[in-house]
Amino acid sequence: MSLNILITGGCGFLGARLARTLLAGGPLALDGAAPQAIAQITLADRVPPPADLQADARVRFVGGDLNELIDNAQLPGADIDLVFHLAAAVSGDCEADLDLGLRSNIDATRALLQALRRSGQTPVFVFSSSVAVFGNSPEQPLPATIEDTTLPTPQNSYGIQKFIGEQLVADFTRKGFVRGRNVRLMTVSVRPGRPNGAASSFLSGMLREPLAGQRAVCPVPPDTAVALASPANTVAGLIRAATASPTQWGARTAVNLPALTTTVREMAQALERIAGTAATDLIDWQPDAGIAAIVTNWPSRIHAARAEGLGLSADASFDAILRDYVRDNPQAVTLPVNLPMKA
Domains and CATH numbers, the chain: 2-186+230-256 (3.40.50.720)
Predicted pLDDT at 154: 95
Mean pLDDT of all residues belonging to the chain: 95
* 82-85/124-130 β-pairing: parallel
Whether residue 160 contacts residue 169, with contact meaning beta carbons closer than 8 Å, is answered with no
Would you place residue 296 in the very low, low, confident or very high pLDDT band (cuts 50, 70, 90)? confident
CA dihedral 166, 169, 170, 175 (to 10 degrees): 160
pLDDT band (50, 70, 90) for residue 195: confident
Given 158, 172, 318, 325, the catalytic residue: 158
Q: What is the pLDDT of residue 331?
A: 96
Neighbour-count burial for 177-194, b at 16+ CB within 10 Å, e otherwise: bbbbbbbbbbbbbbbeee
* Closest to 224 measured CA to CA, from 138, 285, 275, 276: 285
Which of 321, 314, 323, 238 has its CA nearest to residue 274? 323
Give tens-digit pLDDT for 46-102.
999 999 999 999 999 999 999 999 999 999 988 999 999 999 999 889 999 999 999
State percent of the chain over pLDDT 90. Answer: 92
- 241 burial level (CB within 10 Å; 0-12, 13-18, 19+): buried
Reported as a single tens digit per residue, the pLDDT across 234-281 is: 999 999 999 999 999 999 999 999 999 999 999 999 999 999 999 999
> What is the C-alpha separation between 24 and 67, in angstroms, rounded?
30
Annotated catalytic residue 158: yes
Q: For 298, how many CA atoms within 13 A lie in the half-sphere containing its CB?
A: 29
Quote the CA–CA distance of 191 and 195 in Å, as a whole number: 9
Provide the pLDDT for residue 295.
87
CA 339, CA 343: separation in Å to the nearest integer? Answer: 12
